[in-house]
Amino acid sequence: MCEKLVYLTTHSLLFHKTKKSLIKIKPLDGFDTADRFLYSVGITKPLSQNRKELFTMKNIQREISRNIPNHLPKNLAELGEAIFTAYGCAMLERDTDKEYIYTALNLETGKRKMIKRQKMPLTTSGVEAMAESIRLSKVAGFGRLEADRPFGNKIALEKCRETLNTIFNEILPEYGYKIRREQISLAEHILNALDRRSVSLAEAEVGTGKTLAYLVPAVLAKRGRFNGYWNMSFYTGTPYADTAHMPIVIATSSIALQKAIITDYIPELSRILLENEIIKTPLTAVLRKGREHYVCERNLRRHVLFEHNITMKEILEDLLKPNAVIDLAEIDGLTAHVKSIISVPDRCDEHCPHRESCQYLKFREYAQFAEIDIQVCNHNYLLADIFRRRDEQRPLIPNYQNIIIDEAHKFLQAARTMYGVEFSSNTLVEIKNSIYDNLNLKYENAKKIVKRLAKKLSSESSRLFRRLVENAESEDTDEEADRFTTVIDEEAHRHIRNIHNISEGLIELLKPEPVVRKSDGRKKQILWELEQVRKQTGILIQYDKLIYWLEKGDDENKLCAIPRDLDKRLFDDIWSRGIPTVLTSGTLSAAGDFSHTKRTLGLHRLGGKLIETSKPSPFDYYKNALLYIPENMPFPDQLNKMYINAISNETERLITVSHGHSAVLFTSYKAMDMVWEQLSKRGIPFPMFRLDKGGVREIERFKQSKNGVLFASGALWEGIDIPGDALSMLIIVKLPFAVPDPISEYEQTLYEDMDEYKRKVVVPEMLIKLKQGFGRLIRTETDTGVVAILDCRVNKKSAYRERALNALPDCFVTNDIDDVEEFIHNKKSADYFI
């Protein structure tokens, strides 16, 4: 059933690889008969004999050094003269007149062993064989590049640096990787941050290779027990022995990057480090997700009985087979609706009949396995673990020794989501319906009281949201607003307080009430939902400590809030704990200034414990990119038809000279609609695509078209990777200033005047997003193309030109569209124009 890929064993565990990267780990010694399921990587096929001999020879050659240390013991005269070192030993040669005696001396322990006697002195050709004899001897120490250290030992910082530089400068190039100065510098910076147990802001622009730049030092530090004793101080009361198994945590924003780390980066790095004897056992990793991403056997068995679609039913029945995949992302053919039905609920029933066989619970248990080197998750999952630790609850992730936060420019939004409150107008209606339809209480009198309170809760919710909508600002703005300013006045506050008190009373009433007809599971779910309402409204009551707003929809309104002191909470809960942490992204600064990021995330409170670096892209932008800024564009005003006409005309000219291959990037869907409508009527001779809210398929269609035009807002500003000629013209219609909202309104109050706020917040935020947008064009070293900015605020006499150009990569700037046409013709092959 599974392809056996045995290469090494770890603590008597045998690694197998099965379908879809699911790994079974079976014990060899019989002490435990249960299978352990892990998303485990770094398992490599056994080397062929020729390849194994090749790597052994290369490693031995790399190990031998003619540089003899100065600190050799002085009483070695009877053993002879040191002629080379290898595997932590000096090889000593002694001439007895009758023969030559060669003795290996371990430079750390002082242990020695006679390796060989021979009549003739050692020649250059015999050094490698002698070094191999040292490697196989009992006195051999650690290899020059070996990272793994046994319990009670630790790797030195200097040794880590030597190994790190050898990996990037010598070993990785042998596997086809280019030597990148910026990548090595970034890796050294991260290693220093781990050594100093600091928090690091590490900006690495596109092409730097930041994933390997943080994986290599993190793995060396972990396997080398770099901060072994310090790890105990992160978690008071942890035995030193347990620090040996503390994993690395890598938190990202996108699923694509998590999957790439698990399936590409770590297996490849593991193979390289194993082959070059830097690590002795494969790297292992596990991908952690929220419970809604996994199959619940109970929900699956319930739903499969009522599924009428034959194809869907077959997929679901396959999931009931032993050892079936439980990660919903790995299951093809399921609709989003079906996935939501069969996923693990927010709260598991402790009396579930499938609890003993539950694959999700087994996976969650085995994800805590001590031998896992790397735990990969998203930002929200990491924050959920941090909350549980703060509240002294059982953590989601095993105690970890360092944290890598990749895509860190999105971490603030994750923090706002996790620290915030989102109270929906539909929540209490759904609870009321659930109580009316699904809850069967034993006693009729209690049933009447519970239903009356549930109806009252729903009524209070309706009144609350009616008042909030009345209090919300309704005037039109230049952009679509996602967050509407509202006011929690005395009336709205009274409704929130009533909801809080009624839900609390309903919980106390419902807890002891018996149920009939096996309704206990439904009762527990309702109690859990009511408890969430009680917690949410308990926070919203203190509205003077919150930044709050209203999100309006056709079928649902939401009252949302975040704490005003979010930066302090992040500092208290994360940064102040002393755990080495690296926040990395391509866009964390405004032209090298991290002030905005530090302030919003609370990192400014760290003082000297925060270190920062910014590594430029290694790409040759001056050669491969052109920046076009026309001088004749009107001031941005989407309510002005002349402005929309001007944008449409200039966009058409640019699309024409680039022969399609274009993306038009807007800050407003309204403006995008108007330009789209005009250009659609003109019959542009290239396929046109538009990326609306929530859409992703159009990106693939655009790539496949090869010469299409993609209209987009929102998602395309960051995280979209379209390498090659498909995207050769990126048109940024307007500088991406943030839309004013309740959060920005509150932030303004923290500054003396509007000018200071614009200088320290508004402009830096815009520059960071402008860099993100610009970064969509050049994705590889061979990409070429043009970025056009159609905003008069960056023309030659504008206020923002200098700051914008300083924030962007160095490239040739023009205001002449003939230069654009010439650039495209010079850089593109004949196939491009077909």
pLDDT at residue 481, rounded to an integer: 64
506 close to 454: Cβ distance less than 8 angstroms: yes
46 close to 6: Cβ distance less than 8 angstroms: yes
Count Cβ atoms within 10 A of the Cβ of residue 616 and give its class: 0-12 exposed, 13-18 middle, 19 or more buried. Answer: middle
Q: Is the pLDDT of residue 134 over 90?
A: yes
Instruction: Tell me the pLDDT tens digit for each residue of 25-64.
Output: 333 333 232 333 344 444 445 556 666 667 778 888 889 9
Rounded CA gap, 722 and 726, in Å?
A: 7
Rounded CA gap, 227 and 581, in Å?
A: 13
Instruction: Tell me the pLDDT tens digit for each residue of 346-368.
Output: 878 777 888 888 888 888 888 88
pLDDT at residue 366, rounded to an integer: 85
> In 682-753, which ranges are continuous DSSP H helix?
697-705, 742-748
pLDDT at residue 347, rounded to an integer: 79
For residue 20, name the pLDDT band (cuts at 50, 70, 90).
Answer: very low
Q: Is the pLDDT of residue 442 over 90?
A: no
N-terminal to C-terminal alpha carbon distance within the chain: 48
For residue 754, name the pLDDT band (cuts at 50, 70, 90).
Answer: very high
Rounded CA gap, 246 and 219, in Å?
A: 12
Per the model's pLDDT, the better-predicted residue between 8 and 637 turns out to be: 637
pLDDT at residue 333, rounded to an integer: 87
Structure tokens at 759: 């200088």
Closest CA to 300 of 275, 331, 274: 331
> In 241-378, which ranges are continuous DSSP H helix?
255-260, 266-275, 297-304, 310-318, 336-342, 359-366
Place of tokens 């050049």: 778
Q: Report how far apart, in Å, the C-alpha atoms of 658 and of each of 74, 290, 705 are.
A: 74, 44, 15
CB atoms within 10 A of CB 555: 6
Closest CA to 156 of 108, 208, 99, 215: 108
Written in H, E and C, the secondary structure of 451-511 is HHHHHHHHHHHHHHHHHHHHHCCCCCCCCCCCCECCCCCHHHHHHHHHHHHHHHHHHHHHC
For residue 255, name the pLDDT band (cuts at 50, 70, 90).
Answer: confident
pLDDT at residue 51, rounded to an integer: 63
Q: Report how far apart, in Å, the C-alpha atoms of 409 and of each of 254, 376, 511, 603 are.
A: 12, 18, 44, 13
Mean pLDDT of the chain: 87
What mean pLDDT is predicted for residues 128-157? 90
Indicate the SS3 state at residue 325: coil
Backbone angles phi, psi at 290, to 5 degrees: -65, 155
Four-residue CA torsion sign, 218, 224, 230, 231: positive
Q: What's 394's DSSP letter?
A: P
Instruction: Tell me the pLDDT tens digit for each residue of 371-411.
Output: 899 999 999 999 999 999 999 999 999 999 999 999 999 99
pLDDT at residue 53, rounded to an integer: 66
Indicate the SS3 state at residue 832: helix
Four-residue CA torsion sign, 129, 135, 137, 140: positive
Count Cβ atoms within 10 A of the Cβ of residue 237 and give its class: 0-12 exposed, 13-18 middle, 19 or more buried. Answer: exposed
What mean pLDDT is predicted for residues 423-448? 89
For residue 192, name the pLDDT band (cuts at 50, 70, 90).
Answer: very high
pLDDT at residue 41, rounded to an integer: 43
What mean pLDDT is predicted for residues 76-98? 88
What angle (nearest 5°) sits at the alpha carbon of residue 566, between those of residues 563 and 570? Answer: 140
282 close to 43: Cβ distance less than 8 angstroms: yes
What are the strands of the beta sheet with 248-252, ordered from one edge?
285-287, 374-378, 248-252, 402-405, 581-585, 199-204, 610-615
What mean pLDDT is predicted for residues 655-663? 96
Largest CA distance in the chain: 109
778 close to 729: Cβ distance less than 8 angstroms: no
Per the model's pLDDT, the better-predicted residue between 438 and 101 turns out to be: 101
Rounded CA gap, 95 and 120, in Å?
A: 10
CB atoms within 10 A of CB 795: 16
* Burial annotation 527-541 (CB, 10 A radius, 16+ → b, else e): eebbeebbebbebbb
- The identity of residue 148, as a single letter, is D
Helix, strand, coil shares of the chain, percent, nearest 5, are: 45, 15, 40
What mean pLDDT is predicted for residues 563-585? 96
What mean pLDDT is predicted for residues 590-614? 93
Structure tokens at 606: 């760290």
For residue 2, name the pLDDT band (cuts at 50, 70, 90).
Answer: very low
pLDDT at residue 18, rounded to an integer: 34
pLDDT at residue 525, rounded to an integer: 85
What mean pLDDT is predicted for residues 330-349? 85
Q: Is the pLDDT of residue 493 over 60?
A: yes
717 close to 669: Cβ distance less than 8 angstroms: no
Rounded CA gap, 144 and 277, in Å?
A: 10
Q: Is the pLDDT of residue 12 over 70?
A: no
Place of tokens 């923090």: 415
Rounded CA gap, 834 and 827, in Å?
A: 15
What mean pLDDT is predicted for residues 775-798? 93
Q: Is the pLDDT of residue 165 over 90?
A: yes
Structure tokens at 587: 């866009």
pLDDT at residue 580, rounded to an integer: 95
Angle between the 641-657 and 669-681 helix axes, to the nearest 10 degrees?
60
Q: Is the pLDDT of residue 336 over 80?
A: yes
602 close to 567: Cβ distance less than 8 angstroms: yes
Query: Mind giving me the DSSP string for 525-571?
Result: HHHHHHHHHHHHHHHHTTGGGEEEEEEE-SS-EEEEEEETTHHHHHH
pLDDT at residue 5, rounded to an integer: 31
Q: Is the pLDDT of residue 574 over 50?
A: yes
Backbone angles phi, psi at 546, to 5 degrees: -120, 155
Q: Is the pLDDT of residue 818 over 80?
A: yes
Rounded CA gap, 813 and 628, in Å?
A: 6
Indicate the SS3 state at residue 211: helix
